[in-house]
């Protein structure tokens, strides 16, 4: 099922060259997408439009068929999407369990264990976890939310390639088993390999590579 769609989206930062020229794409539930492309090509910009952090100059961004301008961007951010950042963005005076409990009524432990944390690690202060473990917590938090779409901006950018591959595998499995739509901007080959579909952004155009 198509959950998010970009329809002829155009975007530029005031008067400068077009960052996005005429971008259309469909994103389905239960699938993981990798968006690749050179630095500065507009990947973060594209993700911010999907996440309702900004509006396109022309065209439409739709969630379950509804233009997110109509939903309201703040509503869209709150209900429909969850973000995973390169820098984890966890609340650092809390434990993983408390971080997950903040955004979900589900018991946090099963989802943290599913992502490979032990019961002891789930109760530890997040700053006493490795980068890979902190990113697992950020993913658990996104998965525990009601959001149908998970957006990641280089979520493995701070991790070594082996850990990146493991995290990519977790995201892939989560998309498939929990029926989430996962859209990841990445430089990592390991991450792109795990994606069901790879899209390349180049010179303002988005092309399906595989
Ligand atoms: N707030 C902004 N104002 C003006 N230009 C910006 C702004 N944010 C990004 N840009 C420019 O837009 C282009 C695309 O940026 P970005 O989406 O961050 O690319 P990527 O994530 O692919 O590296 C870059 O040339 C960048 O310098
Ligand atoms: Mg970027």
* pLDDT 10s digits, 130-188: 999 999 999 999 999 999 999 999 999 888 888 888 889 999 998 999 999 999 999 88
How far apart are the C-alpha atoms of 194 and 69, rounded to whole Å? Answer: 32
- With the most atoms of ligand 1 within 8 angstroms of its CB, the residue from 10, 14, 18, 19 to mutate is 19
Burial class (CB in 10 A: 0-12, 13-18, 19+), 65: exposed
The residue whose CA has the least distance to atom 2 of ligand 1 is: 13
Selection from 4, 44, 54, 59 nearest residue 26 by Cα: 4
CB 44 within 8 A of CB 185: yes
Helix (H) or strand (E) holding 118: none
The residue whose CA has the least distance to atom 24 of ligand 1 is: 40
In short, whether 202's Cβ falls inside 6 Å of ligand 1 is: no
In short, whether 41's Cβ falls inside 6 Å of ligand 1 is: yes
Ligand 1 center from residue 106 Cα (angstroms): 37
Burial class (CB in 10 A: 0-12, 13-18, 19+), 150: buried
pLDDT of the residue at 201: 96
pLDDT of the residue at 190: 82
38 CA: nearest ligand 1 atom: 22
Quote the mean pLDDT of the chain. 94
């Amino acid at each position: 099922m198509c959950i998010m769609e970009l329809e002829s989206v155009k975007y530029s930062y005031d008067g400068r060259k077009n960052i996005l020229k005429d971008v259309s794409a469909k994103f389905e539930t239960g699938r993981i997408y990798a968006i690749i492309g050179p630095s500065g090509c507009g990947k973060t910009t594209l993700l911010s439009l999907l996440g309702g952090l900004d509006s396109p100059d022309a065209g439409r961004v739709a969630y379950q068929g509804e233009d997110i301008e109509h939903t309201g961007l703040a509503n869209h951010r709150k209900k429909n999407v969850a973000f995973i950042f390169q820098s984890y963005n966890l609340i650092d005076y809390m434990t993983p369990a408390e971080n997950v409990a903040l955004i979900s009524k589900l018991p946090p432990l099963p989802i943290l264990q599913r992502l490979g944390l032990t019961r002891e690690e789930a109760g530890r202060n997040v700053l006493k976890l490795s980068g890979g473990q902190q990113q697992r917590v950020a993913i658990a938090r996104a998965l525990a939310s009601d959001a149908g779409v998970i957006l990641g901006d280089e979520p493995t950018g701070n991790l070594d390639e082996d850990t990146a591959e493991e995290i990519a595998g977790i995201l892939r499995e989560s998309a498939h088993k929990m029926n989430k739509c996962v859209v990841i901007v990445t430089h990592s080959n390991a991450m792109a390999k795990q994606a069901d579909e790879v899209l390349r952004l180049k010179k303002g155009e988005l092309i399906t590579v595989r």
